[in-house]
Amino acid sequence: AFDVKIASSGEVVRVAADQTVVQALGAHGVEVLTSCEQGVCGTCITRVLEGECDHRDLYFTDEEKARHDQFTPCCSRAKSAVLVLDL
Ligand code: FES
């Protein structure tokens, strides 16, 4: 598990191993638009302000992934303990 922090509110949301980031946020009333939920379409792209992403999408290039400044919360996760999201 890891945490995501919502930059605008400071709220910290735990993402359990069997949950996606989108599901964890939704359970806290923060809706992220999704479509494919498989890392293909890019609909859910969210900016990342701090932390290291565990990218599991097929959308970004390797260069984009290496910047760790955006990710697809429908399927991607975190390598760091916390990801700060621009939400
Ligand atoms: Fe399609 Fe996340 S919903 S990439």
pLDDT digits over 38-69, tens only?
999 999 999 999 999 999 999 999 999 999 99
Cβ atoms of residues 15 and 48 within 8 Å = no
pLDDT-based confidence at residue 78 (cuts at 50, 70, 90): very high
Helices in the chain by DSSP H: which ranges?
A: 21-27, 62-67
- Residue 1 CA to ligand 1 center (angstroms) comes to 21
Atom of ligand 1 nearest to the CA of 40: 4
| Per-residue burial over 33-50, b = 16 or more CB atoms within 10 Å of its CB, e = otherwise | ebebeebebeebbbebee
The confidence score (pLDDT) of residue 32 equals 98
The confidence score (pLDDT) of residue 33 equals 98
The confidence score (pLDDT) of residue 82 equals 98
Among 36, 53, 56, the mutation site with the greatest number of ligand 1 atoms within 8 A of its Cβ is 36
Tokens 């509110």 sit on residue:
9
Q: What's the CA gap between 11 and 54, in Å, rounded?
A: 21
